[in-house]
Structure 1
Amino acid sequence: MKNVDRLVSAMNRRVFLKNSMYSIGGTALATMLGGNALNSLGMNDLGLPHFSPKVKRVIYLFQSGAPSQLELFDNKPKLKEMFGQELPASVRGQQRVTGMTANQKSFPLAMGNFTFNQYGESGAWMSNLLPYHQEIADELCFIKTMHTEAINHDPAVTFIQTGSQQAGRPSIGSWLSYGLGSENENLPNFVVLLSRGVPGGQPLYAKLWGNGFLPSQHQGVMFRSGDEPVLYLNDPKGISRDSRRNMLNHLEKLHRHQYEKTKDEALQSKISQYEMAFRMQMSVPETLDLTKEPDHIYDMYGPDSRIPGTYANNCLKARKLAESGVRFIQLYQMGWDFHGNLPNQITTMSKNIDQPSAALIKDLKQRGLLEDTLVIWGGEFGRGCYSQGKLTKEYYGRDHHPRCFTIYMAGAGVKKGFTFGETDEFGYNIVRDPVHVHDFQATLLHLMGIDHERFTFKSQGRRFRLTDVHGKVVKDILA
């Protein structure tokens, strides 16, 4: 017992700072150099990055609700040729379908009056719904054989964002924040922006940008539209910045005193969060101020870019955040869940996202940011080739389809003007080069300089990783 007491008494603040890698000298050096000095000097205590990264930051344009690849990117003339005819039983096999179509007596093939052509020197296939994407065809790297086990929205979105269909695991952005730290200490490592297209659609929950079992300062910070981007960030009336600074100094002393007694890491997280909030009071309004953007930039992103809370406005904010050194920017666009009236709704939704998505890539490129920024566009699963419910050229729906779907990437580390993978003539099964959700996650970490099998966090006696016990890097798409 005496030995334990001696050990506890020895772990006072002076000894802790003396022996810690983050000593006063290291802290002062970080302050002088600004930003994530320890990481930049190769002093990350996790040994990260494992190797030289191709990507410094990520903008993930997540299309919640599952956009239909068949109307956008995966050209299947067979669906027009056999319109209304039954999907061959040999193609469908015994694969699981949702309860919404399980009791259908037939599975008639469906395709509206959409046209596909090839664009750019790469000859990438795209439909007439995406005229602005057609202009950047040679910047895009398509993966047409993504697949997942999840067949319903909530577990599928949770799976692709956290590596598990059950809630409670850290999101991709939280893993990267924990592993790689920040490029700008005045802004969060991980920022979330929400927007909605057509009315309705699937809801989104904070678990998708949660920190799970990682320290809480690594959770995503949701920026809202309007005058108060972050709730409770601003000081109450009558509280000066000096008063707030003085209060935080005393609060930190109390937390440090308690930490010396308990060694509770949650106290360190609290200190970090309070300090970040204080710095964000100045940095967030400045970063999100779009009033100085010239008219030609607004015109590039489209008329909605002047309206706070829209997808176009959030794409412009994403560029600003990337420019300011935010590590991971997650933009969620809700509204892609079309079980009926798909031709009309996907036309509206595509118009909503086409120009801003393409403009973001163009804007990053013209500023030299696309060289070390990765842009990702895609949803949680795909859509089936048969009609759900009523069937005409002008009206049909598509059920969930986890067997294959399309995403694209653009920017650092991936091949330009490249298409990977192939589905069958009905767009129902994968013919070659399947890419599982865990493969996608492993590849993303690889581009950030991380070996997904070595990047773990111990919780409840087990070492967890984003890719669980699966995943392989898709080397064929790497530049």
Structure 2
Amino acid sequence: MCLNFVKQWSEHMMNLLNRRNWLASTACGFGSLAFHGLASAESDSLAVASENPLAAKQPMFPAKAKRVIFLFMQGGPSQVDSFDYKPILEKHHGEKFEFRDARKMARGNSGDQETLMKPLWKFRQYGETGHAVSDLFPHIGQRVDDLCFVHSMHTNGVAHGPSTLFLHTGALNLIRPSMGSWINYGLGTENNNLPGFVTISPSSANGGPRNYSNSFLPACYQGTAIGRAEQSSHQVKFRHIQNPFFDQPVQEKQFQLLRELNASQLGSRQDSELEAVISSYELAWRMQMHAPQLLDLSEESESTMKLYGIDQKETEDFGRQCLMARRMAEQGVRFVQVNYSDNGSNPRWDQHSKMERHAIHAKATDQPVAGLLIDLKKRGLLEDTLVWWGGEFGRNPFSQGADGRDHNPKGFTHFLAGGGVKQAFKYGATDEFGHEAVENKIHMHDLHATILHLLGLDHERLTYRHAGRDFRLTDVEGHVAHDLIA
């Protein structure tokens, strides 16, 4: 009888395990395997975010700089009207000249003959180096012996959107991590109570949030945006970090209870995603205690406020932003971006007509930028803080219409200061007209690679695996410009 039972049970199981039933019964198993693979990938990507994802990390090799302040001049300041003096433009003003592959956006332009246009401002020599700077930037001119000018920049993209995205992410039209996110990922923050990457008054146009996005990097490395373009700097603040309903003791009790519940939920499990969520809550709690103080400028002296031009209407707004950047750098925020931008389709430095408007923007930024350099140097911060100034491209040495200049990605100027770069130094050159980089050319990928190198990061080794391949800020390009490094 026992043998009959075993035989019947075996036949029953064989019937259940025919091909159709086997596929049906194991389909969930296939799904489980797929989910396990996805979960493992997710777990790997979040492993770095466990414990404290923003904790300071050791650089790959000895670093010259610990942090970066990026002063973004959106719209493309004219290099031939500011820092790249070309006397030939004055000599041949109004004459026609043939430019190879000149890019034309203005309607009515035809052929390669363009009308040369002289700078609208006089150039003067400054400092021991005698570097020529136009009357647009007299305060920055006084700091030339602290600066490292790169006169041979060139980049990808000819319109604001793609070129701005390329400057920030190294890609023209794909959603890639911003430079600040890569640095945050590679080094973490020096202050566990603050974000590692902050962008002040960013624009919602020309890339918008993609310019400070983490993209496929773990979300903890995304830039923290405070304020927005065209908003008064008085309104710049960290949002959603203060509780208006409960006082400090009650909030502390709530937080301790939340920590206990999270610890109980986590138990002995290795759940990187849950750990990352818990870590984000704890960072938010610490920020409540520390972040608001960063933006409280009432602690600053009257002389410091004057240094940044905060006592003047034209310079107050950008001056406040630059002073906030110094306070953040001082407290260990790894990458601070200060945006001189707006939310319109025509960014501030974008003078396709009425080039004289450059004077408005120079007036708003010149003294605050110089004040930042002076203040950092006085406090001993300039030695390990890299200050980076520039736009997404430059402008042409010939006219657009009667009194404007078109975009020029072929040759333009950025400058660096502090953070291990050479002082009183100029590198590279454009042609005699200031149109195209011709000597020691520096592509935007090269500048990215060089800045990462100054921070102790190898741009070829700072990678993240996503969608089956390793990504990096410089993609498959970029060379470190060692000649810029002190």
TM-score category (smaller protein)? 0.7 to 0.9
SS in 2 for 1:67: coil
| TM-score, with length taken from structure 1 | 0.83
| TM-score, with length taken from structure 2 | 0.82
Aligned length: 430
Q: Distance in 2 between matches of 1:269 and 1:87?
A: 60
Aligned counterpart, 1:393: none
CA 339–256 in structure 1, closer or farther in 2 if over 3 Å, else same:
farther
Counterparts of residues 182-221 of structure 1 (less than 5 Å)? 182-194=189-201, 205-221=208-224
SS in 1 for 2:307: helix
Aligned counterpart, 2:381: 369
Aligned counterpart, 1:231: 239
Q: Contact 2:315–2:365 (CA<8 Å) still a contact in 1?
A: no
CA 132–226 in structure 1, closer or farther in 2 if over 3 Å, else same:
closer
Aligned counterpart, 2:290: 283
Q: Distance in 2 between matches of 1:242 and 1:308?
A: 40
Cα displacement (A) at 1:68 = 0.6
Q: Distance in 2 between matches of 1:322 and 1:22?
A: 23
Which of 468, 472, 475 does residue 468 from structure 1 map onto?
475
After superposition, what is the alpha-carbon deviation per residue over 1:434-464, rounded to whole angstroms, capped at 9, x for unaligned?
0000000000000000111111100010000
Partner amino acid, structure 2, of 1:71 = D
More divergent stretch after superposition (97-106 vs 171-180): 97-106
SS in 1 for 2:177: coil
Aligned counterpart, 2:3: none
Partner amino acid, structure 1, of 2:210 = K
Are 1:402 and 2:409 counterparts? yes
SS in 2 for 1:350: helix
SS in 1 for 2:243: coil
Q: Contact 1:68–1:383 (CA<8 Å) still a contact in 2?
A: yes
SS in 2 for 1:107: strand
Which of 308, 313, 323 does residue 320 from structure 2 map onto?
313
Partner amino acid, structure 2, of 1:58 = V
Q: Contact 2:64–2:455 (CA<8 Å) still a contact in 1?
A: yes
Cα displacement (A) at 1:255 = 6.6
Q: Contact 1:453–1:465 (CA<8 Å) still a contact in 2?
A: yes
Counterparts of residues 255-334 of structure 1 (less than 5 Å)? 256=266, 260=269, 263=271, 265=273, 267-303=274-310, 310-334=317-341
Q: Which protein is bigger by CA-based radius of gyration?
A: 2
Partner amino acid, structure 2, of 1:137 = V
CA 204–301 in structure 1, closer or farther in 2 if over 3 Å, else same:
farther
Partner amino acid, structure 1, of 2:79 = Q
CA 273–305 in structure 1, closer or farther in 2 if over 3 Å, else same:
farther
Q: Distance in 2 between matches of 1:465 and 1:124?
A: 36
Are 1:134 and 2:141 counterparts? yes
Q: Distance in 1 between matches of 2:156 and 2:79?
A: 18
More divergent stretch after superposition (369-378 vs 116-125): 116-125
CA 185–94 in structure 1, closer or farther in 2 if over 3 Å, else same:
same
Aligned counterpart, 1:99: 105
Cα displacement (A) at 1:357 = 0.2
Partner amino acid, structure 1, of 2:116 = L
List, as ranges, runs of 4+ consecutive aligned residues in structure 1 with deviation greater than 6 Å: 20-23, 305-309
The sequence identity of aligned pairs, in percent, is 41
SS in 2 for 1:376: strand
Cα displacement (A) at 1:226 = 4.3
Q: Distance in 1 between matches of 2:299 and 2:106?
A: 49
Q: Contact 2:315–2:363 (CA<8 Å) still a contact in 1?
A: no
Q: Distance in 1 between matches of 2:265 and 2:355?
A: 55
Q: Distance in 2 between matches of 1:306 and 1:347?
A: 15
Which of 405, 411, 429 does residue 422 from structure 1 map onto?
429
CA 119–79 in structure 1, closer or farther in 2 if over 3 Å, else same:
same
Cα displacement (A) at 1:250 = 5.4
Partner amino acid, structure 2, of 1:276 = L
Counterparts of residues 450-461 of structure 1 (less than 5 Å)? 450-461=457-468
CA 464–129 in structure 1, closer or farther in 2 if over 3 Å, else same:
same
Q: Contact 1:217–1:272 (CA<8 Å) still a contact in 2?
A: no
Q: Distance in 2 between matches of 1:140 and 1:245?
A: 47
* Ranges in structure 2 where 5+ consecutive residues have no aligned partner: 1-28, 37-42, 228-232, 342-347
Q: Superposition RMSD on alpha carbons, in Å?
A: 2.9
Are 1:449 and 2:462 counterparts? no
Partner amino acid, structure 1, of 2:363 = K
